[in-house]
Chain A
Amino acid sequence: MSRSEILLRCREITHRWGGLVAVDRVSLELERGSVHAVIGTNGAGKSTLIDILSGEIVSAAGRVELLGQDVTGWSQPRRASAGLGRSYQRTTIYPSFTVLENCRLAAQARAQKPWAWWRDAQRCKASIAEARNAAQRAGLEELLDRYAGLLSHGQKRQLEIALCLATKPRVLLLDEPLAGMGAEETERMLNLLGELKADHAILLVEHDMDAVFRIADRITVMVNGAVIASDTPQAVRANPEVQLAYLGCD
């Protein structure tokens, strides 16, 4: 794998909540065309790691590179504009907007034009086309006019992915996208992630181990903020330390 295919890289990321070390010298790389899963028990530091990578939290130490650029000091919006999309553990959409308007607003973020601030938002054809495309990729093309607050839980999670896609990211940081989903919705989401994998580097934080081992190309295991293993799914499954700490020895 050439270096140019590594879209996101972090080195020695550390973060503390008071006296608690939430993320302890974590390093990882995300390559285009792969799903890199991060697993661990609750409180292992997975979501904090995503917050740091996305720029929502400033880490105490470490370095983050996005598309070869050092973005450690960049704000979250700047990182997002540079091609980093993220979803949240708790669904983060605009419930009182339609699905299309949700996606259109996200697409507008990608094409912010100070000289066009006064332009009627509904007449911005490029943003609307981008929004339709994102909704279609996320499987929501039939629900464009529905208010987001009226969608089912699974559809809301799909919409959150659509919001990321509308900003045309190169890297996707997905925080438990399968949480609370039924079997059918999980299957649909895994298919979607499989499709997205070709064009993106995906970091997946997830508790559904069956899904993780099915889709991930690489798995990093965190315990108490530190990485105890980072390898292929087969190697991680066979790792005795991981079995002891997280997977169980059945």
Chain B
Amino acid sequence: MDRSGALFAVLAFLALAAVPAVAGSFGVDLVTKIMIYAIFALSLELLAGSTGLVCFGQAAFFGIGAYATVLLSPRHGPPSLVWMLPASVLCAAAYALIVGALSLRTKGAYFIMVTLAFAQMAYYVVHDTPLGGGTDGIYLATKPVLGPWLDLNKPLAFLGFTLGCQAAVFVFLALLLRSRFGRALAGIRVNEQRMRASGFSTYPYKLAAFVISGAIAGLAGFLFAVKDGFVTPELLSWHLSAAVLVMVILGGLGHLRGALIGAFAFALLQEFFQSEAIFGAFARHWHLGLGLTVIACVALLPHGLVQVPGQLRERLLGRAQRSATEMRNEPL
């Protein structure tokens, strides 16, 4: 990540930390939800943006993390965060290992379809069996705690915890992408044929990335289950997989901060078009407004919202340096 990216991240996290001071309970709840989506989007960014694997079943890992949180939670007494969080993340990672081991044997459109198929399988398991409470979903009996220090029932404590998780995931991924492993992933995204010809056995690298991505999505699922206190099969549906993909594309593929920007832009646009105060009865058709806006963004900003400052700078610099700038805009 370059200096401007790091500066953006620091300012963004400081702004999020200041949310409780300026927003009411609705604002705190909304920002918490968006940060969870941002973690979810970061998980897909590792796959789609950094490794070139467009997974269309990311919601499965999110949903499994959420369902594991509810199903593993004891009926009496709050569970400890110390084992609850890792257990939920491990469940999602284990499913990602199985899905990745099989789906990474395919490429391109086939990979997209296979990941979608696995996600739909998981969806129907919780939708059509008593395991996940069927279509009604299940309630979380008690929210996890961390001794006397952290009670996730309190909205501000939960916001702080979610912000910490988001920052940890962001920093982890930033360091990962700078590492030898991360550079190998970038090489696979740009030219897998050359990677193999150079001596990289690319399958283990892709599988490791897939599992890490699934684990991060599981973390987001855990947070979602704790925040709302209940889970439904919709958390594993292809709609959510598509939504998180739109977030990543909207923000800008190949950039960690793009995933953050995309998650915030998508969620805020959704809130905007769902507002009856602004759109009245037409707010019921919020999908239309959101869809048209996303199409316009993608058409006008092919590199995503993250490239807005770069594109403005390019216009100021003129056409002479355009080719060089475009090359720099390519994710490294």
**B287 contacts the other chain (CB 8 A):** no
Query: Which positions 61-114 of chain A face chain B at CB distance < 8 Å?
Result: 75-78, 80-81, 85-86, 88, 92-97, 101, 104-106, 108-110, 112-113
| Interface residue A214 (Cβ < 8 Å from any Cβ of B) | no
Determine the interface band of chain A, counting residues with CB < 8 A from chain B.
35 or more
Considering only CB atoms and an 8 Å cut-off, how many residues of chain B contact the other chain? Answer: 30
Q: Contacts A95-B190, A119-B180: A78 and B201 contacting too (C-beta < 8 A)?
A: yes
From residue B226, how far is it (CB to closest CB) to chain A in Å? Answer: 29
User: By the criterion CB–CB under 8 Å, are A80 and B178 in contact?
Assistant: no
Contact B194 A77 (CB under 8 A): no
Partner of B200, one of A77, A101, A118: A77
Q: How far is the CA of A77 from the CA of B199 in the complex (A)?
A: 4
Which B residues are CB-close (under 8 A) to A110?
A: 199
**Chain A CB within 8 A of B2 CB:** no
Report Cα–Cα, A56/B324, bound state, in Å.
34
Q: Is the CB of B180 within 8 A of A121?
A: yes
Query: A147 within 8 Å of B by Cβ?
Result: yes
Q: Whole-angstrom distance between the alpha carbons of A30 and B181 in the complex?
A: 34
Tell me whether B327 and A108 are in contact (CB under 8 A).
no
Contact between chains at B191 and A119 (CB < 8 Å): no
Within 8 A of A (CB), among B130-184: 175-176, 178-184
8 Å CB interface, A27-62 against B: 54, 56
- In the complex, what residues of B have CB within 8 A of residue A106's CB? 198
**Which listed residue (A147, A149, A167) contacts B198, Cβ 8 A?**
A167
Most A CB within 10 A of own CB, among B183, B195, B332: B183
Residues of A within 8 A of B194 (CB): 92-94, 163
Q: A211 at the A/B interface (Cβ < 8 Å)? A: no
Q: Which residues of A contact B183 (CB under 8 A)?
A: 101, 104-105, 108, 121
Contact A108:B184 (CB < 8 A) given known A76-B196, A80-B197, A119-B179: yes
Does A4 have its Cβ within 8 Å of any Cβ on chain B? no
- What A residues does B184 contact at CB under 8 A? 105, 108
How distant is the Cα of A174 from the Cα of B80 in the complex, in angstroms? 60
Q: Which of chain A's residues have a CB closer than 8 A to the CB of B331?
A: 96
B-side interface residues toward A, CB under 8 Å? 175-176, 178-184, 186-187, 190-191, 193-202, 323-324, 327-328, 330-332
Known: A105-B195, A116-B180, A121-B182. 4 other contacts (CB 8 A): A77-B200, A77-B202, A86-B197, A96-B190
17 A-B residue pairs with CB within 8 Å: A77-B201, A80-B198, A85-B197, A94-B191, A95-B190, A96-B332, A97-B190, A104-B183, A106-B198, A116-B180, A118-B179, A120-B179, A121-B178, A121-B179, A124-B180, A150-B327, A166-B198
